[in-house]
Amino acid sequence: MAVYNTSSDSANTAIRAFLTKVGEYYWGKSFNTASGSSKKIFEHIKNEVFQGRCAYCGKQANKLQIEHLIMFNRSQYGLHHPGNIVPSCPPCNKRRKNSAKEYLDWEDHLEQVCRENGDLDSFFERKKKIKSHMHQGKYKYPDLNEAEQHAIRVIANSLYDNIKMENDKALKMYQELDSAFVKR
Ligand SMILES: [Zn+2]
């Protein structure tokens, strides 16, 4: 729970809810990783597919977190779908940025992590493993074409603007009602 809640927070939450719904539409069922069979799917990806290791640095860690390869937000519009999920240790779960302060895509992030750890030799092997999980395994991520990716971006951005605007309008409405009725 955020300590200070802004209109942008609610708009970003709405985008994640939309990306969850689209992910579940392709997955064919609900994917609530907090409990039940969906939680077991993450456990399987973590322990069997990635052998209890961080997908980026390869280290074993007790607290491996859910990481969305294509970021699950307005910078990359990744879906909440098993094929977009890998285990990550907390330091690697902080997406690196380029010199223009934009978030890197997962392949560049992986390369950066390997470089930081002096472990560039492992880059291609880890990339291959992630790609195989994402595109070939039982959790295959949907193969979205350009038009579908564009549609997701347009709808997500429209949702963001609408929710933010509604939230900003709410105070104005309160002020008008307050002066019209409450303080009469
Ligand atoms: Zn790591």
Please state the rounded mean pLDDT for residues 76-94.
97
Q: How far apart are CA 20 and CA 107, in angstroms?
A: 22
17-74: per-residue pLDDT in tens? 999 999 999 999 999 999 999 999 999 999 999 999 999 999 998 899 999 999 999 9
The answer to whether residues 85 and 49 touch, using CB atoms and an 8 Å cutoff, is no
Domain count, the chain: 1
Q: Phi and psi (nearest 5°) for 116?
A: -60, -35
* pLDDT, position 72: 96
Residue 65 CA to ligand 1 centre (angstroms)? 10
111 pLDDT tier (thresholds 50, 70, 90): very high
* pLDDT, position 14: 96
Is residue 169, in this structure, part of any structural domain at all?
yes
Please state the rounded mean pLDDT for residues 5-9.
90
Is residue 141, in this structure, part of any structural domain at all?
yes
* pLDDT, position 178: 87
Residue 59 CA to ligand 1 centre (angstroms)? 6
User: What amino acid occupies position 22?
Assistant: V
Better pLDDT: 181 or 51: 51
* pLDDT, position 184: 56
Q: Phi and psi (nearest 5°) for 65?
A: -100, 165
114-164: per-residue pLDDT in tens? 999 999 999 999 999 999 999 998 999 999 999 999 999 999 999 999 999
Q: How far apart are CA 141 and CA 159, in angstroms?
A: 23
Torsion of CA 67, 71, 74, 77, to 10 degrees: -120
Is residue 1, in this structure, part of any structural domain at all?
no
Which residues, including other chains, have CB under 8 Å from residue 108's CB and lie 6 or more apart?
A: 96, 98
* pLDDT, position 137: 86
Residue 106 CA to ligand 1 centre (angstroms)? 13
Is residue 2, in this structure, part of any structural domain at all?
no
Residue 100 CA to ligand 1 centre (angstroms)? 24
Residue 128 CA to ligand 1 centre (angstroms)? 16
Residue 110's domain comprises: 7-182
3 pLDDT tier (thresholds 50, 70, 90): confident
* pLDDT, position 183: 61
Residue 155 CA to ligand 1 centre (angstroms)? 33
Is residue 176, in this structure, part of any structural domain at all?
yes
What phi-psi label fits residue 14: left (phi over 0), alpha (psi between -120 and 50 degrees) or beta? alpha
* pLDDT, position 180: 80
Residue 147 CA to ligand 1 centre (angstroms)? 34
182 pLDDT tier (thresholds 50, 70, 90): low
Q: How far apart are CA 53 and CA 44, in angstroms?
A: 12
